[in-house]
Amino acid sequence: MFRMRFVRVWSRKQLLIRIGICLAVIFVLRMGSTAVVSSQKRKLPVYSVDRQEQVVALGINCAWDADDLPEILAALEQEQVKATFFLVGQWAEQFPEAAASIVQAGHEVGNHSYSHKDFAKAEDRTVREEILRCNDLVEKLTGVRPELVRAPSGSYTSRTVEIIEEMGLYAIQWDVDSLDWKKISAEEIVKNCTKSVQKGSILLLHCGAPHTAEALPEVIRKLKEMGYGFSTVGEMIYRENCEFDHTGRQLAPG
């Protein structure tokens, strides 16, 4: 006696329905996974600092040339302002006297990587090597070892910030961009540095940009007229027990 074997044949409509159900299940599972990841708190560098006093910090990147550095240092001296210069290691190698002159003038030096690699795309080992090599070089040339790290082009991930913190250093960004790197006029630089500034702002400017040295005295004077004083980034940030809001503003401890 033979037992008949039945094979169920799905209609096109039934098949499409079942495929749709499967895709919906996959979508829900993936969304659940994404929700778990997004619920994890993103690590941020310091964009600005919640300060009671009306103070800001000038953060000047050094990555291109040094022709205008004497003029920048002269303007800072004239206005009795101390700034933080973030040095690329290769820049410091090319202009060792310029790097030393920043510290000799009483300014703060920070780390801007050795070769300006994109930290967001680099492996952990590369990020550490870039930071360490720059720090070693800056210390050799200036006698000062940087504590602050500004990622090249402001490009970072949560892991980048974690690595910087694991190295006992502080990740620094900015909340006021002069846009001097776009080769805009001195007048536009002044406007960009003053229109959205707030207590605890960290500014982004560049040594080697066409009109930064020209604009800097007016930037400082305008900010002073608005009631702002000046600090280095290292003096302005909080060092322990700090929280951040969603904009990267460092909140006062407690």
Residue 24 maps to a domain: no
| pLDDT tens digits, one per residue of 1-16 | 444 444 455 566 665 5
Which among 156, 182, 149, 176 has a CA at the least distance from the CA of 47? 176
CATH number, domain containing residue 218? 3.20.20.370
Q: Categorize the per-residue pLDDT at 41 as very low, low, confident or very high, splitting at 50, 70 and 90.
A: confident
Residue 59 maps to a domain: yes
Total domains in the chain come to 1
Residue 37 maps to a domain: no
Residue 36 maps to a domain: no
Residue 83 maps to a domain: yes
**Higher pLDDT among residues 145 and 13, named by residue:** 145
Residue 41 maps to a domain: no
**Higher pLDDT among residues 152 and 4, named by residue:** 152
pTM of the full structure: 0.84
Q: What integer pLDDT is reported at residue 21 of this predicted model?
A: 59
Q: Categorize the per-residue pLDDT at 254 as very low, low, confident or very high, splitting at 50, 70 and 90.
A: confident
Residue 12 maps to a domain: no
Which domain, by its residues, includes 68? 48-251
- 55 forms bridges with which residues in the sheet? 229
Share of the chain above pLDDT 70, in %: 84
Please state, in angstroms and rounded to a whole number, the distance separating the CA atoms of residues 227 and 55: 8
- Whether 32 has a pLDDT exceeding 90, the answer reads no
| pLDDT tens digits, one per residue of 192-243 | 999 999 999 999 999 999 999 999 999 999 999 999 999 999 999 999 888 9
